[in-house]
Each structure stands twice: as structure tokens, then as C-alpha cells.
Amino acid sequence: MKTRIRELTEQEKLAYGELSHFRHIITRIYPSGIVSIVSDTWDFWKVVTEYAAELKDVIIAREGKLVFRPDSGDPVKILVGDPDSPEGSPARKGAVECLWEVFGGTETDKGFRLLDSHVGLIYGDSITLSRAEAILEGLKAKGFASGNVVFGVGSYTYQYVTRDTFGFAVKSTYGEVNGVGRDIFKDPVTDNGVKKSARGRIGVILVDGVYCLVDRQDSLEPEDCCLREVFRDGKLLIDDTIATIRDRARE
């Protein structure tokens, strides 16, 4: 008997790694208790359908609750469903209904469907009072209990000054495992490329007086890069004064 061997596509490698990562978190790192996992790195809908089904027995057997966390897109459409998405698609059903189809649950004394106690959802980003009300009303209309979701209360809720006010966020883009380099990136399918991050080893170069970010720069020579190493292994290597930083910003 011959076995046909082929190279995995990049998306297959990502999917395998992400699924293994979920399994590792809920069996090794947090084998019990409540654990929330950001689930939108690439394809949130794959997570709450395929991955959830693949890990169902492990999740149900676990003493605790796995809380899936979408973190991009329109919170109302992600949780309740997008009526403009294709009929029968996970995006049209919404995350709560997708998890219900995998795990089922119980009914409250008022007749609303409540997910199995081993799973839930949290939306910690972009929640305003109006969005929270729209989500709860949408769930009610579909026969789901409000207890299926938890909301984060942050800058969107009270003063609306966020990291996105200045388009600023810090993310890891590269790591090494057993001496082998790996590119790290985020590109949520639920956010139309808005949160697509840089990937791999990055650099900043000066082009005609303008600083430009470049990623996947394995061949970039150190002397060509404007970045300076500030921290290593928790130690501060450069201790500029605030005056020095202000002068540099003015330049």
C-alpha cells in the first residue's frame, strides 16, 4: 500500500497549529476553571464551527468553561448574525447560534436557550451601550438568553479614546522555537484587513526623509535599520530621558 505525501498549504499549517494551540491551552495550561481565548487571529468562524466540533469531547469533559473571544468586526453581527451574509453561513447565524449547534444547552425558566455550561462567549472590544442593547435584543429575538455572552467595559463604553485613536498597537511578529524562526501575524477574516498585522522580522528604514516599516526582512542588515534594541530579557538597555525623546520627536 502506497501513501501519497504532499506538502501542507500555508493555511492548513496555520489551521493545524491553531487547533493544537487551543487543545494545549485547555488540557495543559488551564485544564480546569474559566479560560477565555482570543479566537479571531485568522478565521473566527472556523474556530466556532470546525475547531469547536473537533474539541467538543475535550471541552465537555473539562471541569470549567471555555469562553470564545471574538475581537474584531461588528460585535452585533458577530454575536447575533449578519442578515447580509449568505444563507446558512456561520456569519449569518452568528457565534451564539454556531456554538449552540455544536454544544446545545438548556432552557431558562423563561424559555430562552442557554449554551452548555462548558462554553460561552465574551466580546471585550468595541462595546458601547447601544451595541450591548442591540446584541441583547438580537439574542432575545432569536430565543437565546442574555447569559450566553459577557461584555467587556472599556474605552468604547466611557470615553472612546483607544489605541486606534492614533492607529497604535503592539504585537509580536516573530519568534523562535528550538532555534527555528517563525513568522507571527494576525489577519482576522471578520475585519476585512483592518487588523492585518506586520509579519516576521520587521525593520524601519529611512526613505527620502520618511520612516517606512518593512516586514519579513530576514536579509536586512543591522546598519540599514533605524530600530534600536531597548529591552533584552527584561533588562533596559537604553534609558533616554523624556527631554531626549521630545527632542527626537520634534526632529
Among 192, 195, 215, smallest CA distance to 205 is for 215
Contacts for 108 with CB less than 8 Å, ≥ 6 apart: 114, 145, 147
Can you tell me the distance from the alpha carbon of 173 to that of 171, in angstroms, rounded to the nearest whole number? 6
Among 187, 190, 194, smallest CA distance to 82 is for 190
**Based on the domain organization, do 47 and 116 belong to the same domain?**
yes
> Which of the listed residues 163, 191, 224 is the one where a domain comes to its end?
163
Amino acid residing at 156: Y
User: Is 63 part of a structural domain of the chain?
Assistant: yes
How many domains does the chain fold into? 2
User: Is 175 part of a structural domain of the chain?
Assistant: no
Residue span of the structural domain in which 69 resides: 10-163
Tell me the pTM. 0.75
**Based on the domain organization, do 71 and 159 belong to the same domain?**
yes
Which three cell numbers, joined as nine digits, stand for 16?
A: 493545524
The number of residues in the chain equals 251
| pLDDT by position in tens, the chain (length 251) | 444 444 545 555 555 588 999 999 999 999 999 999 999 888 999 999 999 999 999 999 999 999 999 988 899 999 999 999 999 999 999 999 999 999 999 999 999 999 999 999 999 878 888 999 999 999 999 999 999 999 988 777 777 777 667 767 777 888 888 888 888 888 888 887 677 888 888 888 888 888 888 887 776 676 778 888 898 999 999 999 999 999 988 98
Give residue 200's region: left, alpha or beta (phi > 0; psi -120 to 50).
Answer: left
